[in-house]
C-alpha cells in the first residue's frame, strides 16, 4: 500500500465542529496535535473562540505550538492579540519570533515589516542548504517512524528546489539517510516555497506493509 508522507489540517464545517476542535486541542498531549488544531481554529472565521484558543496556545511549552498560534493570530487579524504578540518577540525560539513578526506585519503594526526582514536575514538556517535538507529528512524520518517504516520503504521522492544548482549540496545529506536505497526520484525547480527563506522541499511516497 502506497502512502504519501504529507497531511493537511481540515477546516471545521461549523461552529459545533469548531467547539469540538477546542476540546481536542485542550486535551491533546502531542505538540503536533495541538499545533494542528491551533491552525484549524485559526483558519476558521466561524469560530468565535479561535482567538482565545490561539492566545492560550501562545503560552504552550512546545515552540511549534506557539509559532503556529502566532501565525493563526495574524490570519485572524484580531488587534486584541497585539500586546501578547509584542511580548512574544522575546521568545527564545527563532520560528516563534518569525511568525510573531509576520502576524504583527499582517496587523499593520509600525516597524513590523522591517523586524520580519531583519529576523529573516539574520537566520543562518536560511542560508545553510545542508541544514535545511537535514531538517527535511529528520521530519521525514519522524513520519516514517510513526508509520513503522524506514527510508528503505520509500518508493519515490520528489525534490523541489528554488535553485536546481543546489542539487550537489543536498546529495551528500541524502546519502546519509538513504544509504544503499535508491528510490525513483524527480527534481523540480520552482520559484519559491511557502515558508520565506526555505530552499528545499521533499515529498515521499512510501510502500507500507499491510
DSSP for residue 105: H
pLDDT of residue 53: 79
The pTM for the full model equals 0.49
| Contact of 100 with 85, CB cutoff 8 Å | yes
pLDDT digits (tens, 9 = 90+) for 72-106: 888 888 888 889 898 888 888 877 888 888 888 88
User: What is the SS3 assignment for 50-65?
Assistant: HHHHHHHHCCCCCHHH
pLDDT digits (tens, 9 = 90+) for 179-207: 988 899 999 999 888 776 788 999 999 99
Which domains can be identified in the chain, with CATH numbers? 7-122 (1.25.10.10), 127-207 (3.30.1330.40)
Return the H-helix or E-strand segment holding 119.
helix 112-122
144: Cα within 13 Å, side-chain hemisphere: 20
Could you give the 3-state DSSP secondary structure of residue 195? coil
Amino acid at each position: 500500500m502506497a502512502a504519501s508522507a504529507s497531511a493537511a489540517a481540515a477546516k471545521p464545517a461549523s461552529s459545533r465542529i469548531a467547539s469540538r476542535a477546542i476540546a481536542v486541542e485542550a486535551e491533546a498531549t502531542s505538540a503536533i496535535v495541538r499545533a494542528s488544531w491551533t491552525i484549524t481554529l485559526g483558519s476558521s472565521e466561524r469560530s468565535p473562540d479561535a482567538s482565545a484558543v490561539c492566545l492560550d496556545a501562545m503560552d504552550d511549552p512546545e515552540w511549534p505550538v506557539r509559532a503556529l498560534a502566532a501565525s493563526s493570530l495574524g490570519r485572524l487579524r484580531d488587534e486584541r492579540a497585539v500586546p501578547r504578540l509584542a511580548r512574544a518577540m522575546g521568545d527564545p525560539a527563532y520560528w516563534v519570533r518569525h511568525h510573531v513578526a509576520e502576524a504583527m506585519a499582517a496587523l499593520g503594526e509600525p516597524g513590523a515589516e522591517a523586524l520580519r526582514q531583519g529576523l529573516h536575514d539574520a537566520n543562518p538556517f536560511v542560508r545553510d542548504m545542508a541544514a535545511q535538507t537535514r531538517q527535511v529528512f529528520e521530519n521525514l524520518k519522524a513520519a516514517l517512524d510513526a508509520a513503522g517504516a524506514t527510508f528503505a520503504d520509500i518508493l519515490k521522492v520528489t525534490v523541489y528546489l528554488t535553485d536546481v544548482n543546489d542539487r550537489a549540496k543536498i546529495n551528500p545529506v541524502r546519502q546519509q539517510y538513504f544509504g544503499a536505497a535508491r528510490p525513483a526520484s524527480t527534481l523540480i525547480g520552482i520559484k519559491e516555497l511557502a515558508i520565506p527563506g526555505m530552499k528545499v522541499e521533499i515529498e515521499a511516497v512510501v510502500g507500507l506493509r499491510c
